[in-house]
C-alpha cells in the first residue's frame, strides 16, 4: 500500500531493472545534487521531467516538424517562419545553420526528437547543451 500522497503504478520488469541500475549507480550524486533520497523519488523526478519536456514540446510542435534525419544532419520545417532549417552535429553538439547558434529553439526542438537523442547517445554525446 502506497504512502499517503503517493500512488502505485505498474511497469515492465525490464524497465524497472534499468531504472534501479541507474538509480543505484547515481545514488550519492542524486542525494547531494537533487535531494533525491529514494528510488520512488527518483522515478517521480524522471516522470516529472518527461511531463515538463512534453509540455514544452507541445508549445512548439504545432510550428515545427521533422522532415528528415541523417547521421549528422536534422532538417526541420519551421511553419512559424516559413523556412526549412538545417541542424548539424558538429563537435558533439547540435548547431542551427539558420540561427547560427547552438541554443536556439530549433536546436531545442531537435534535442526533443527521440531518434535524435538515441543517435547522440550512440555517438557518445552525454550532455545536452541547450539553454532556455
Strand partners, 68: 75
70 shares a domain with 96: yes
Alpha helix stretches (DSSP H) within 1-132: 13-34, 39-60, 105-111, 114-122
Residue 42, judged by CB atoms within 10 A of its CB (0-12, 13-18, 19+), counts as buried
Q: Is residue 73 part of a domain?
A: yes
SS3 58: helix
Instruction: List, for residues 3-59, the tens digit of each pLDDT value.
Output: 888 888 899 999 999 999 999 999 998 998 889 999 999 999 999 888 887 777 777
> Are both 17 and 56 inside the same structural domain?
yes
Same domain for 93 and 54? no
Q: Which domain holds residue 31?
A: 13-60
Q: What is the pLDDT of residue 34?
A: 87
Give CA–CA dist 128/26, Å, rounded.
18
What's the pLDDT at 60?
67
Q: Judge whether residue 2 has pLDDT over 80.
A: no
User: pLDDT-based confidence at 63, cuts 50/70/90?
Assistant: confident
Dihedral sign computed on CA atoms, order 45, 55, 88, 131: negative
Q: Which three cell numbers stand for residue 46?
A: 524522471
- Whether 117 and 69 share a structural domain: yes
pLDDT of residue 77: 95
pTM (two decimals): 0.58
pLDDT of residue 33: 87
C-alpha 78/C-alpha 37 separation (Å) is 42
Query: What is the Cα–Cα distance from 121 to 102, expressed in whole angstroms?
Result: 18
Residue 2 within a domain: no
pLDDT given at position 131:
35
* Overall number of domains in the chain: 2
Q: Are strands 73-78 and 93-96 parallel, antiparallel or unpaired?
A: unpaired
44 and 68 together in one domain = no
Mean pLDDT computed over 95-114:
90
> Are 83 and 34 a contacting pair, CB within 8 Å?
no
107 lies in the same domain as 72: yes
Amino acid at each position: 500500500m502506497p504512502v499517503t500522497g503517493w500512488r502505485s503504478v505498474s511497469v515492465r520488469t525490464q524497465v524497472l531493472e534499468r531504472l534501479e541500475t541507474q538509480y543505484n549507480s547515481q545514488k550519492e550524486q542524486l542525494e547531494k545534487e537533487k535531494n533525491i533520497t529514494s528510488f520512488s523519488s527518483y522515478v517521480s523526478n524522471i516522470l516529472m521531467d518527461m511531463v515538463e519536456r512534453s509540455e514544452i514540446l507541445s508549445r512548439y510542435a504545432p510550428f515545427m516538424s521533422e522532415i528528415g534525419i541523417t547521421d549528422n544532419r536534422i532538417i526541420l520545417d519551421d511553419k512559424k517562419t516559413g523556412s526549412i532549417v538545417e541542424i548539424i552535429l558538429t563537435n558533439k553538439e547540435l548547431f542551427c545553420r539558420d540561427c547560427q547558434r547552438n541554443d536556439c529553439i530549433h536546436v531545442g526542438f531537435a534535442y526533443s526528437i527521440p531518434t535524435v537523442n538515441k543517435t547522440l547517445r550512440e555517438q557518445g554525446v552525454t550532455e545536452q547543451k541547450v539553454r532556455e
